[in-house]
Amino acid sequence: MPVKLVISQINPIVGDLEHNFKLMLKEVESAKKAKANLIVFPEMSMLGYPPKDLILKQGLIETQDHYIKELALYSDEEFAIILGGISANRDFGNKFFNSLFCLAKGEIDFVTHKVLLPSYDVFDELRYFAAAPRAKYWEWQDHKIGLTICEDIWMEAYPNLYNRNPVENLIAAGAEIIINASASPYALGKPEFREELIINLVKKYQVPIIYANQVGANDQLIFDGGSFTVDSSASLMARAKSFEPDSLSFELKDLINKNEALELRHSNLEELRLAIILGLKDYCRKCGFEKIVLGLSGGIDSALVAYFAAEALGPTNVYAFMMPSKFTSDESLKDAEAQAQSLGINYQIISIKELHEQMRKLMPDLNQLADENLQSRLRANILMARSNTQDALLLATGNKSEIAVGYSTLYGDSCGGIAVIGDLLKTTVFELARHINSEKEIIKQCIINKEPSAELREDQKDSDSLPEYAVLDQIIKLYVEELKPLDEIVAAGIDKGLAARVLNMVDRAEYKRQQLPPVLKLAPTAFGFGRRMPIAQGFRHACHPEPERRQDLPGSTTRS
């Protein structure tokens, strides 16, 4: 009998089992109407990924099992369901397995577990799960279907990390096809890398692979979907949409619906744009926020964040506040208002001039640094008050370049529920703004053209305290994202003194970064729970100079 299979890349909410059950049930009913025989959901689809310590809560696994058994009732002799969840480990090791449940004939017909448990970057699966000794195939409708979960197909990418090969073991056992249920977080360039990885696996083992990936955002992590199929000739035959729920259907014998066109891949900048919109939209939706508050300064960062806020929740739900001080230029006032009008968002001016003057009278001995930070913290107080009053999410508007070197004010411009562009280098901020303007001007060109400034003192420019962003970003990319030491950074053409200065700034700003809001992850290495550096540490590369005192660091001297 021909088998029609559906991949359903859904957007679950972590821990909302009833919601996820209803989401899957809707997809099941749609698949059955389309005369499908098998529907495949992503990794941990019933619970949402990553569940973190939520899985330690009493009663959660029992509730999950109830919904899985309920969903099984919608299977029968000719229609089956594969979904991800957790199961209890009754043997030695951690309490749980990361599992796939195969539902058929109205019951749980087969269960298998993840073999390779990642414990790097944002992954911490060894904290929760026991590793299965081997991958297994499921015999269904006269087919031997090899079942793998996310990392189980990544052993070729990390040959020195694992000593087991689930795909090879399944092929040796007689599996005719491999299904991989994934919750693979997005990073720039990763979708293409995934496809190349699986195409190479098919070339090596001559067995087709079906890849089902989660879509949506959970906290800092964004899942891009992009589920796909690769036939036995190692041809990429179908790809689901990126950054939105979607499904693929095909005959198992063909591994492709011949009438379905392969979607073109987005450009890198368009990928970033869609990822940020999805990340912010899901963060608001899943945390219960319907409105957004932010400071709009007339600069590029806040203009870009305001754009994403309007795209995520709609312009009428975005409230932007310009909070001028005596150092704010007329140009910035005009630019902020023009940007608000361009986006159609709510806009209000609340001056901090009098507040600043009153605070200076109370503390006449404040030095330059304290005075600059005072202005930023006054603004944060206003924004937090508006956030509380309007029950709205406050967005932090800092970029990765500033976050890396500590060029921000704690409890000032660093305040917010989430850092929307905290994983975008400043040069990428400008590139993305120009990309958004490719068809019409949305981010005001006058803002893009303006030299960056915090405007916390007379005639202040970012370049007073920081290297030019093109150079700074090159250093940050090498040091933070590629973990290159000073000598290799210098070999890349960077002045040694300048590189050493920036590396010290990055190292010494760790205490700030660990007090920042969550950052939407867009790069392979992002600040947040995927990068775990100690605050109090004394390691220096052999060619580092002695670290400067924290209060004397360039950048920190203006905004700490």
**Could you name the CATH architecture of 273-552?**
3-Layer(aba) Sandwich (3.40)
Higher pLDDT, 257 or 310: 310
pLDDT tens across 254-308, in order? 764 444 556 677 899 999 999 999 999 999 999 999 999 999 999 999 999 999 9
pLDDT (tens digit per residue) in 78-118: 999 999 999 999 988 899 999 999 999 999 999 999 999 99
Return the higher-pLDDT residue of 462 and 450. Answer: 450
Sign of CA dihedral 145, 148, 150, 156: negative
Domains 4-255 and 273-552 share a fold: no
Give the domain 4-255 fold. Nitrilase/N-carbamoyl-D-aminoacid amidohydrolase (3.60.110)
pLDDT in tens, 10-26: 999 999 999 999 999 99
Buried b / exposed e across 113-138, counting CB within 10 Å, b at 16+?
Answer: bbbbbbeebbebbeebbbbbeebbbb
Q: How confident is the model at residue 560, as a pLDDT?
A: 58
Q: Mention every residue, 6+ apart, whose C-beta is less than 8 A from residue 331.
A: 298, 446, 450
Task: Give the per-residue pLDDT at 251.
Answer: 86
Q: What is the mean pLDDT of residues 400-422?
A: 94
pTM over 0.85: yes
Res 334 pLDDT > 50: yes
The angle formed by the CA atoms of residues 218, 476 and 160, to the nearest 5 degrees, is 70
Residue 463: per-residue pLDDT: 78
Q: Which has more pLDDT, 121 or 29?
A: 29
* Residue 133 confidence (pLDDT): 93
Residues acting as catalytic residues:
43, 114, 150
- When the pLDDT of each residue in the chain is averaged and rounded to a whole number, the result is 92
**Owner of token pair 């991800």:** 84
Residue 546 pLDDT more than 60?
A: no
What are the sequence ranges of the domains in the chain?
A: 4-255, 273-552
pLDDT tens by residue, 466-479: 899 999 999 999 99
Which of 17-26, 309-318, 480-489 is predicted least confidently?
480-489
Task: Specify the pLDDT at position 551.
Answer: 42
CA angle 130–132–136, rounded 5-degree value = 155
The answer to whether 154 and 167 are in contact (CB under 8 A) is no
555: pLDDT confidence band, cut at 50, 70 and 90? very low
